[in-house]
């Protein structure tokens, strides 16, 4: 049975977590998790823009509280959204948060940021690489790097909701180009809602229909909201495995085989 995921639900919006009222975040998050259950979404990535590492623990407590009230069976992961204006700032923020959250999202747009995100061993998802650009923000080199480093390339439905009629057609073309690049070079393309409130959320098949409109086969379009997000989550969990010394090098106990069985 196919499972659907939305890996970019943003109850505090694009702003810094510290700037938002805690009660407002809790109310919004609870409503969004309830909506996810109604839409048949099996797993949700709740993403915040953290300015301090101490905020992660507070956010996790909020998530657990909201999940227990909305639907205890709903699978949830905590993500950090990195918005950086330089390569140095990006790497510093990733290093600060990489092991405190379940996955790291980099907000794309600037070509340097897109490139570094695709080749960073601790980045899990590059979100909207086309944001604010006149092109898709990706090329074949970045697509190859994303495949090599298991970085998912995501486009959000919200970027279309926020776009005017003139910009929407251009954004759709950018998304289509990035799908083609990812499919050709083996990177995982993922569709997310990018929702900041329950009304912006969409069910998995509705998100997949966006890719279908762009000419993607139905089975591949559905993979963008099911198999590919699941693959990204598994890669993110592997990166954060305590037995991992550095990405790709794991401590193996004597008598333990590669699959973990003696």
Q: What would the pLDDT profile of 54-95 be if each residue is shown by its tens digit? A: 899 999 999 999 999 889 999 999 999 999 999 999 999 999
- Cα 251 from Cα 244, distance rounded (Å): 6
162's CB contacts (< 8 A; 6+ apart) are: none
- The answer to whether the beta carbons of residues 138 and 114 sit under 8 Å apart is yes
pTM of the model: 0.90
- Closest by CA to 179, choosing from 170, 169, 191, 167, is 191
Burial class (CB in 10 A: 0-12, 13-18, 19+), 257: exposed
Domain 5-250 has CATH 3.20.20.140: yes
E strand or H helix that includes residue 245: strand 244-246
Model confidence band, residue 163 (pLDDT cutoffs 50, 70, 90): confident
Residue 248: left if φ>0, alpha if ψ -120 to 50, beta else—which one?
left
pLDDT by residue (tens digit) across 190-236? 999 999 999 999 999 999 999 999 999 999 999 999 999 999 999 99
Report phi then psi at 6, rounded to 5.
-130, 105
Give the residue from 100, 67, 96 showing the smallest Cα distance to 84. 96
Residue 71 vs residues 34, 53, 189, 199, 224: alpha-carbon distances, Å: 7, 27, 28, 18, 24
Residue 262 CA to residue 255 CA, distance in Å, equals 5
Is residue 262 over pLDDT 50? no
Q: Which two tokens stand for residue 114?
A: 């897109």
Name the one residue in this structure whose structure tokens are 């993979």: 223
Q: What is the DSSP annotation of 210-241?
A: HHHHTT--HHHHHHTTTHHHHHHHHHHHHHT-
CA-derived radius of gyration, the chain: 18
Percent of the chain with pLDDT over 70: 92
């Amino acid at each position: 049975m196919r499972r659907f995921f939305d890996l970019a639900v943003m109850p505090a919006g694009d702003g810094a977590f510290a700037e938002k009222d805690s009660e407002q975040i809790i109310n919004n998050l609870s409503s969004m998790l309830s909506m996810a259950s109604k839409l048949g979404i099996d797993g949700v990535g709740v993403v915040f823009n953290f300015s301090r590492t101490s905020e992660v623990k507070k956010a996790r407590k909020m998530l657990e509280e909201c999940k227990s009230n909305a639907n205890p069976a709903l699978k949830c992961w905590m993500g950090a959204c990195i918005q950086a204006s330089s390569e140095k700032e990006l790497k510093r923020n990733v290093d600060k948060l990489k092991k405190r959250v379940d996955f790291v999202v980099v907000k794309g747009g600037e070509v340097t940021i897109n490139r570094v995100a695709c080749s960073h061993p601790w980045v899990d998802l590059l979100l909207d690489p086309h944001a604010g650009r006149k092109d898709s923000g990706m090329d074949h080199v970045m697509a190859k790097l994303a495949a090599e480093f298991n970085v998912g390339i995501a486009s959000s439905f919200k970027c279309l909701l926020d776009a005017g009629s003139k910009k929407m057609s251009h954004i759709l073309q950018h998304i289509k180009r990035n799908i083609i690049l990812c499919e050709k070079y083996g990177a995982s393309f993922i569709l997310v809602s990018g929702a900041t409130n329950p009304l912006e959320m969409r069910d998995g098949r509705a998100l997949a229909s966006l890719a279908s409109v762009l000419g993607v086969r139905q089975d591949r379009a559905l993979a963008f909201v099911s198999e590919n997000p699941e693959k990204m989550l598994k890669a993110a969990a592997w990166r954060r495995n305590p037995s991992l010394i550095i990405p790709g090098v794991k401590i193996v106990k004597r008598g333990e085989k590669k699959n973990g069985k003696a």
